[in-house]
Copies of this chain bind each other. A is one copy, B any other.
Amino acid sequence: MASGRILVAQGGGPTAVINQSLAGVVLEARRFGHIERVYGARHGVRGIVDEDLVDLSQETRHHLEGVAATPSSALGSTRDKPDLAYCQEIFKVLRAHEIDHFFYIGGNDSSDTVRIVSEQAALAAYPLRCMHIPKTIDNDLVGNDHTPGFPSAARFVAQAFAGANLDNASLPGIYVGVVMGRHAGFLTAAAALGRKFADDGPHLVYLPERTFVLEHFLADVKAVYDRLGRCVVAVSEGIHDASGAPIATLLAKEVERDAHGNVQLSGTGALADLLCDEIKDKLKIKRVRGDTFGYLQRSFLGCVSDVDQREAREVGEKAVQYAVAGAQSGSVAIRRVGDYAVDYLLQPLEAVAGKTRVMEDEFITASGNDVTEAFRLYLRPLLGTGLPDAYRLRHNPVAKVLGTGSRG
């Protein structure tokens, strides 16, 4: 019955390691003699309905390894979310090309797409193995210890804040760095892993899991500034007021939404600028700088966790094993089984699709503006090996000869 044709696609936002999963699928499939072809759809489900397919069977192993080590989605991605009619088009193409295994590498929204496609296939009595392969820098998939893509983005954020902290220590003032993460604060929280010394920033971390109150934020910043003469702040793009309205949209002229109904939060510096203006206006502090990490944090070429690379490869391999050898459909998940070691399991698509994990309470301090040691222990092994270290001069003061400087 099985044709031995696989179709793989990539959906949602790119990551530094999503091509590892692609390579995992293609290379693992080669181990199975009856798999005659591995096709890739360009730009996710959009490429399926457009019959915009490429034959990955013609790729060399060596070249695939090069692609695997390259960030962003090599097949291209899409923000399309298939409805019933869209799915009927997908089936038409899958049937026409005699595809019997569909692998979709993506996050929340992509897993929901796989669920819908799988249900439509069942309704149409079409024999299709549907596998969702996890990927998201937001780390917001339920049933996973963490998701491929998050560790590398977290490493970027940690290294970025380690550097921003050094910069801020050199030229003191306020620094606000805005990090991606609509509903889940994991990536913003990763900023805390950039700390080494007790007085290192980020000194404050604001997450979408807690209500953002501007007055509290300003008081927090003032307290740190009064104590250290400087303050480094990590802020999630998804912070919101008590009503759930994103702070970012309080400023935006017009709100842009994608096909999933998500408000566009990235690709604009508005939130950082708003917060900096408030600090300047209300706290009368002069040197206030804001950066929005934007797309660099998910696609920077040259900042990747080797642990993330390995696991992203494995979820692709496991997907093929579950689907081709095991004749199952589902979503591959990562489970932590040691400090540090992982194993993989297959979840039902319904268990993952459309659900959002947020940071567990144990990861957030009672004050709501920092992360706990438990979070640091959770994240540290994911960042991988070879993290750059930061050294500071030891303080050996020279005795004053003149006394307090006249300009001091």
Contact = CB atoms under 8 A, between A and B. Distances in A.
Interface of A: 10, 13-14, 39-40, 43, 49-56, 58-59, 63, 66-67, 69-79, 86, 89, 92-93, 96-97, 159-160, 162-164, 166-167, 169-171, 175, 194, 253, 256, 266-270, 272-273, 276-277, 286, 288-296, 298-303, 387-398, 400-408
* Most central of A50, A72, A79, A403 by chain B CB within 10 Å: A72
* Most central of A49, A267, A393, A406 by chain B CB within 10 Å: A393
Given A14-B170, A77-B170, A54 B396 contact: yes
Given A58-B396, A405-B49, A391 B63 contact: yes
Contacts of A73: 170-171
Given A63-B391, A70-B391, A391-B69, A55 B398 contact: yes
Contacts of A388: 69, 301-302
Contacts of A393: 40, 54, 56, 59, 67, 74-75
B166 A72 contact: yes
Contacts of A392: 67, 70, 74
A76 B230 CA distance: 13
A353 B72 CA distance: 44
B63 A394 contact: yes
Given A89-B406, A167-B299, A267-B291, A398 B272 contact: no
B291 A295 contact: yes
Contacts of A276: 267-268
A164 B270 contact: no
A399 to B, nearest CB: 9
B290 A269 contact: yes
Contact of A76 (B70, B74, B169, B300): B169
Contacts of A77: 170-171
Nearest to A254: B280
A363 B286 CA distance: 37
Nearest to A78: B171
A295 B167 contact: yes
B54 A92 contact: no
B402 A72 contact: no
A282 to B, nearest CB: 15
Contacts of A50: 404-405, 407-408
13 contacts: A51-B408, A54-B395, A54-B398, A56-B396, A58-B394, A69-B389, A74-B392, A93-B402, A164-B299, A268-B289, A289-B294, A291-B296, A302-B303
